[in-house]
Amino acid sequence: MPDKTCQNCGDNEDTLFEVYRIYLKLDLDYFDPDMSKIIESKAERQSEMWCSSCCNTYPNLTKSD
């Protein structure tokens, strides 16, 4: 039986999605919590299995076949 644990939050879920985590770099010189300026983004090379809540909350790219 495949592992049904989200690799981001650790919750047990029936449905998981294969995604690539994205790291964002913000411009902290002009930081505004409501209007943060992203100056760089980097996708992780290794995919992870995430629940729908994490997919909707954290930056990620869905793995396409």
Domain boundaries defined on the chain = 17-62
pTM of the model: 0.78
Q: State the DSSP string of 1-46.
A: ----B-TTT--B-S--EEEEEEEEEE-GGG--TTSPPEEEEEE-SS
pLDDT confidence of residue 65: 52
pLDDT value of position 50? 97
pLDDT at 22: 96
- Per-residue pLDDT 10s for the chain (65 aa) are 567 999 999 999 999 999 999 999 888 787 676 667 888 999 999 999 999 999 999 999 997 75
